[in-house]
Amino acid sequence: MTSPQTMVYTVEYNGQIYDIEGPAGAKPEELQAFLGQSAGPPPDPAATDGLDKAEPIPAGGDGEVQFNDDPGRVLTRMSPQDEDAFVRLQQTGTAEQMLVFLHQRGLASDATELSRFVAARDKGERFNYGVSYGRDRAPDQGAGAAFLNGASQGAFLGTSDELHGLVNGVSSALRGEGFSDAYNRTVDIDRAQLGADEENHWLASLSGNLVGGLALPLGLERAGFTQSTRAIGIAARDAALADGLSATAADKIAARAVAKRLAAEGAAYGGAYGAGTSEGGPGQRLLGTGVGAAGGAVAGGIVFPALTRAAGGVRRGVNATAGWLSRAVGSVTENGAKNRAGDLLRTATLRPIDDVLADIAARDAQVSGAQPTLAEVANDPGLAGFQRGFANTDPRAGAVVGERNANNALARTRYASDALGDGSPQAVQDYAARQVAVGEAETAAQQTARQTAANTRLADGRTQAQASRSEAEQAAIGGQNSIGPLVDRTATGAAQREAFEGAYDAAKRRSRTAYAAPALQDPQPIEIPASVFAGDMRAAMADHYGDGGGEIPEIVRSIIDDAAAPGATTRTLTNIDRRLADFAGKSTMAGSRSDAAFATRLRGILANFADQAAPQEYRAALRNAKAVRAEQGRVFETGDAPRTFARDRYGNPTVGDTTVPTRIVRPGAPGGDTVDGLIAAIGPDAAETAVRQELRRAVEEAGLQTEAQARSLATRFGEVAKRFPGVESDLAAVQSNARRLDAAKAAEARAARASFTPEENASIKERSAFHDVVLDSPLGNVADAAVDPSSFVAGLLRRSDDGRRLRYLAQQIGDNPDALGGMRRALGDYIETAGAGPSFTQAGERVPSITKTRQAITAVVKRSGNALTNQQKAVLSTIARELTSANFAVTAGRPSGSDTAMNRSLARMINAVPAGVHGAPVKTILSKVVSAMSNEDHVKQLLTQAILEPDFAAVLLKRPTARNMLDVQRRYAGRKGTIFAGQATTASSEQYRTGTR
């Protein structure tokens, strides 16, 4: 659109045609200079859809590349942040990435040109980067829409486009999307549409401007902003009559007063309209004001009186529009807005206003520090429904009320949780574990008192079993040591050989002494008959050595020769008997039984001869000597023991010292005979020492004995042990210790497998009384490290036993402050967790549910017993009451839908738009303009403040419902003063509006 002071110029610049709107009489050089500042470098002729070609920058030059959006999309713009991001993408991105970026924001560009630009850029050509936009002409919406758009523009003094931009800009700013871009985009679109209406349907647009403009003064008059023309006429006529003029003259004076007033208001409205429709800078708007005022004076003084006297559709349209305006601007003043807000609050209440005010004044201080809303403290179900309906209807109010409710819920929940202290729930589990340990110790002591390795508890089974095994091993070792010292077998053999040979030598000495008796050593002649040699001895030799029986030992032959020598005496006979006895003994020890038997037979032949030929005294002495010698042979030369200590003909032992012990301590019955011989040879004490040493070595070589091994050892050496009662007792002790060790090993194995013998199971049932109590109580359950103490306490709280187990737990830990503090902290965590709601704050915090939180607090107070102090219970009860009030605010009263008073008020306001407005886009614009002009947003702000500040709501509820018209008229008069204040100034570059074609 243009005003009488502006013109549209067609200018060619850099091969491109521009349409420029500027002040009348603008010079060509001014237009060229303006284009040089705003149009930028010449576009590439090949660009067909708004994409400027990327021109290479010569070395050291200043080229620029700009990308326009698709001109088919009317006035679509990116946010400044997106523009910066797109410039960065031009420098590094691919053509595909830029196309996707534009498409996601409702824009487009030429893919071919983008590809050319990317190729040139990647070759190293330099560019300056930027963004510019293309725009099409607004669409043709038809004559009806043109009329309505014109009526809106006229009714709001030519500012409907800017008011619409203001509304959208504020809405965008509240959403965090910025004000300027939404404002500019809305104004551009509306102005483009108004321009298209003037071009395509100028008559309809002009008619709408007239109807809307002429309805404005009538609407303000009805709203009480201006004095009615009827009142002016009556006042002038009454004054004339009072001055004594005739009725006819008074009527003329009244008519002139009305015409004068209409002309003055018409000039004011016209001037405001001219300023509103000017699209340039301040200077251009002031030029528009002057022209508009002149035209308005004519309309006010001539056209409006004619239309007000007219009948038909135009008059009805003007009256309808005026009635709507009078209702719309009723709350434009601060007092009027407060009265309007107070009216809405008073209408919403269901209880007497005085009762509501009393409840607001007498409200309790919030323990939690929450800031309750109006509905929470007014205790009025109507206000509660109004508050919800208002929040549901107005997004901004809904946001702040929702934020307040969320913050209150968080504050109350946190305060309730914090009131239960900052203890650690882990302290509950730690205390429980200590109590369980005390019970286990008591049970362990009880089992130890019964002195049985099997009576170990499952909790410390391994440790106890290991201790039992260690004790059994020590007992076994002690029993083994009691058998005798551990001596090297060779040393034992050497000692036994020494003892045997010492005893043997003593026996030999006794034999020699016996053979040295005087009667035997006194040589008396005695002749051995040849028959003895020829008969008996030869027969004996034939029996033992004949027919391959072997060769007669040389010593035997020598003895026989000595016996056959002439001059034999009794002494000769004595020596021959002694020598044959020694030969027989050695042969027996060496295992030469045939030689020993032959020698013994020879001794018998000679003994028979001596009994017949020797004197009586000799015979008696010889029998004694032979008896002594026989004892020597029996003890030291016959049996296993003597053979063990035998020596060969060269004097070397036939059995080594290392083997001696195993030869003299033999298993079974033969062992008894051998030990008997050893006892006879070296005595019982020395023999027992030898036996103990050999048994000790046998035990040691077998390791720590099992019962089976001990039995085997006792069986093996049972005959030997019988000869020594002490040894027999020690073997029994070894068996007993072996049985004990077996039991300890079995107990250890069972403990390692975490299973028990029947005896151990019986022991487990005999726990201490305290241990039973602890394990069967909540302490025993929570002592398990796998149990989360907070979750455990919460589980007790949720049990269907009305808190019995929870109170039992509190009773058990009541004497431990740390554990009690941990339980309280777990209850506080339960309040937060159980009360969590489904929504989150902008900071990502979960908003508590009022109902769930109140139920959680009630359950804690009712079921926790002595876990909480009286003060803590009082605090929780108070917060529960606060939550009850908060719950009343969101549940009581009128339903939160279209039935609320606020919704009905807004519906009435929108329905007040003239019935002739049928186009949805225009109706939307007008409804938002109505809201802005009628100060409805301020009313909503006051209502929002009242909801958030109950004391302020009380002030509004006390206000009178009549509007303060004087304040309204002063505010309007102030606006008129502003309208007439301008002077024309020199046009600047802001006066120009440019478009290309």
**DSSP states along 854-904:** HHHHHHHHHH-GGGS-HHHHHHHHHHHHHHHHHHHHHHSSS-SSTTSHHHH
- Alpha-helix residue ranges (DSSP H) falling in 546-615: 554-564, 570-590, 593-613
Q: Give me the percent of the chain exceeding a pLDDT of 70.
A: 70
- Residue-by-residue DSSP string for 392-426: HH-HHHHHHHHHHHHHHHHHHHHHHHHTT-S--TH
Q: Which of 724, 755, 786 is the last residue of a domain?
A: 755
CA angle centred on 407, ends 403 and 409, rounded to 5°: 115
**Cα separation, 658 vs 494, whole angstroms:** 8
Inter-residue contact 944 to 953 (CB < 8 Å)? no
| Residue positions counted in the chain | 997
Tokens matching residue 664: 């003299």
Burial 84-94 (b: 16+ CB within 10 A, else e): eebbebbeebe
Q: Which of 619, 665, 606, 620 is nearest to 641 (CA)?
A: 665
- Residue-wise pLDDT tens digits, 399-409: 888 888 888 88
Q: Average pLDDT in the 436-460 region?
A: 80
**Cα separation, 811 vs 866, whole angstroms:** 7
Q: At residue 420, does pLDDT exceed 70?
A: yes
Bridge partners, 18 (sequence order)? 11, 996
> What phi, psi does 225 have (nearest 5°)?
-75, -35
Residue 403: is it exposed, middle or buried by C-beta count within 10 angstroms (0-12/13-18/19+)? middle
Q: Which of 834, 854, 882 is the last residue of a domain?
A: 834
Residue 214, pLDDT score: 61
Residue 73, pLDDT score: 36
Q: Which of 534, 546, 637 is nearest to 593 (CA)?
A: 637
Q: At residue 62, does pLDDT exceed 50?
A: no
Q: Average pLDDT in the 220-248 region?
A: 71
Residues 602, 666, single domain; the answer is no
**Cα separation, 249 vs 244, whole angstroms:** 10
Q: Average pLDDT in the 164-171 region?
A: 64
Determine, yes or no, domain membership for 114. yes
Q: How confident is the model at residue 858 (pLDDT cuts 50, 70, 90)?
A: very high
Residue 791, pLDDT score: 94
Residue 501, pLDDT score: 83
Residues 560, 650, single domain; the answer is no
Determine, yes or no, domain membership for 78. yes
Residues 807, 821, single domain; the answer is yes
Average pLDDT over the chain, rounded to an integer: 74
Number of domains in the chain: 5
Q: At residue 687, does pLDDT exceed 60?
A: yes
Q: Average pLDDT in the 497-510 region?
A: 86
Q: Average pLDDT in the 268-272 region?
A: 55
- Alpha-helix residue ranges (DSSP H) falling in 784-869: 789-798, 804-812, 817-834, 850-863
Q: Which of 763, 25, 164 is nearest to 449 (CA)?
A: 763
Q: At residue 925, does pLDDT exceed 50?
A: no
Residue 446: is it exposed, middle or buried by C-beta count within 10 angstroms (0-12/13-18/19+)? middle
Provide the pairing of β-strand 65-67 with 16-23: unpaired
Start-to-end Cα distance in the chain = 17
Q: How confident is the model at residue 266 (pLDDT cuts 50, 70, 90)?
A: low
Which range among 46-60, 217-231, 512-526, 610-624 shows the weakest confidence by mean pLDDT?
A: 46-60
Residues 595, 677, single domain; the answer is no
Inter-residue contact 784 to 846 (CB < 8 Å)? no
Residue 45, pLDDT score: 40
Bridge partners, 19 (sequence order)? 10, 995
Q: How many CB atoms lie within 10 A of CB 425?
A: 25
Residues 25, 46, single domain; the answer is no
**Cα separation, 897 vs 386, whole angstroms:** 10
Q: At residue 778, does pLDDT exceed 50?
A: yes
Inter-residue contact 623 to 517 (CB < 8 Å)? no
Q: At residue 100, does pLDDT exceed 70?
A: yes
DSSP 8-state symbol, 460: T
Q: How many CB atoms lie within 10 A of CB 916?
A: 16
Residues 644, 726, single domain; the answer is yes
Q: How confident is the model at residue 265 (pLDDT cuts 50, 70, 90)?
A: low
Residue 291, pLDDT score: 45
**Cα separation, 330 vs 933, whole angstroms:** 10
Residues 737, 683, single domain; the answer is yes
Q: Average pLDDT in the 776-780 region?
A: 89
Residues 775, 805, single domain; the answer is yes
Inter-residue contact 847 to 403 (CB < 8 Å)? no
Determine, yes or no, domain membership for 301. no
- Alpha-helix residue ranges (DSSP H) falling in 123-201: 143-155, 160-174, 180-200
- Stronger pLDDT, 503 or 703, i.e. the higher one: 503
Tokens matching residue 165: 């931009």
CA distances (Å), 572 to each of 172, 409, 519, 531, 558, in order? 154, 136, 12, 18, 13
Which range among 238-242, 616-620, 865-869 shows the weakest confidence by mean pLDDT?
A: 238-242
Residue 130, pLDDT score: 79
**Three-state SS across 49-114?**
CCECCCCCECCCCCCCEEECCCCCCCCCCCCHHHHHHHHHHHHHCCHHHHHHHHHHCCCCCCHHHH
* Max avg pLDDT among 397-401, 486-490, 669-673, 855-859: 855-859
Q: At residue 607, does pLDDT exceed 70?
A: yes
Burial 170-207 (b: 16+ CB within 10 A, else e): bbbeeeeeebebbbebbbbbbbbbbbbbbebbeebbbb
Q: Max alpha carbon distance in the chain (Å)?
A: 222
Residues 533, 674, single domain; the answer is no
Q: Average pLDDT in the 162-190 region?
A: 66
Bridge partners, 930 (sequence order)? none
Name the 3-class secondary structure at 17.
Answer: strand
Residue 983, pLDDT score: 28
Q: Which residues contact 982 (CB under 8 A, 6 or more apart)?
A: 275, 285, 286, 289, 290
Q: At residue 836, does pLDDT exceed 70?
A: yes
- Stronger pLDDT, 985 or 187, i.e. the higher one: 187
Determine, yes or no, domain membership for 805. yes
Q: At residue 821, does pLDDT exceed 90?
A: yes
Determine, yes or no, domain membership for 679. yes
Determine, yes or no, domain membership for 931. no
Q: Give me the percent of the chain exceeding a pLDDT of 90.
A: 11
Tokens matching residue 179: 């004000």
Q: How confident is the model at residue 21 (pLDDT cuts 50, 70, 90)?
A: low
Q: Which domain holds residue 71?
A: 41-131
Q: Which of 755, 790, 815 is the last residue of a domain?
A: 755
Q: At residue 426, does pLDDT exceed 90?
A: yes
**Cα separation, 886 vs 374, whole angstroms:** 10
Instruction: Report CA 575 to chain centroid distance, whole Å.
Output: 111
Q: Which residues contact 123 (CB under 8 A, 6 or more apart)?
A: none
**Cα separation, 210 vs 300, whole angstroms:** 11
Q: At residue 279, does pLDDT exceed 70?
A: no
Bridge partners, 66 (sequence order)? 130
Q: How confident is the model at residue 360 (pLDDT cuts 50, 70, 90)?
A: very high
Q: At residue 90, does pLDDT exceed 50?
A: yes
Which range among 91-105, 229-243, 330-344 shows the weakest confidence by mean pLDDT?
A: 330-344
Residue 68, pLDDT score: 45
- Stronger pLDDT, 152 or 832, i.e. the higher one: 832
Q: Which of 562, 497, 560 is nearest to 534 (CA)?
A: 560
Residue 993, pLDDT score: 42
- Residue-wise pLDDT tens digits, 327-338: 444 455 677 778
Tokens matching residue 958: 């006390």
CA distances (Å), 788 to each of 424, 425, 436, 437, in order? 12, 9, 17, 19
- Region of residue 60 (left: phi > 0; alpha: psi -120 to 50; beta: else): left
Determine, yes or no, domain membership for 148. no
Q: How confident is the model at residue 924 (pLDDT cuts 50, 70, 90)?
A: very low
Q: At residue 846, does pLDDT exceed 80?
A: yes
Inter-residue contact 895 to 126 (CB < 8 Å)? no
Q: Average pLDDT in the 930-958 region?
A: 79
- Stronger pLDDT, 375 or 126, i.e. the higher one: 375
Residues 687, 654, single domain; the answer is yes
Number of H helices, E strands in the chain: 48, 7
Residues 644, 706, single domain; the answer is yes
Q: How confident is the model at residue 685 (pLDDT cuts 50, 70, 90)?
A: confident
Bridge partners, 130 (sequence order)? 66
DSSP 8-state symbol, 591: T
Determine, yes or no, domain membership for 72. yes
Q: How confident is the model at residue 944 (pLDDT cuts 50, 70, 90)?
A: very high
Which range among 324-328, 481-485, 604-608 shows the weakest confidence by mean pLDDT?
A: 324-328
DSSP 8-state symbol, 568: -
Residues 749, 648, single domain; the answer is yes
Q: Average pLDDT in the 733-750 region?
A: 83
> What phi, psi does 980 have (nearest 5°)?
-90, 5
- Residue-by-residue DSSP string for 702-770: H-SPPHHHHHHHHHHTHHHHHT-HHHHHHHHHHHHHHHHHHHHHHHHHHHHTT---HHHHHHHTT--HH
> Computed from CA positions of residues 534, 537, 539, 543, in that sequence, does the dihedral angle turn out positive or negative?
negative
Q: How confident is the model at residue 72 (pLDDT cuts 50, 70, 90)?
A: very low
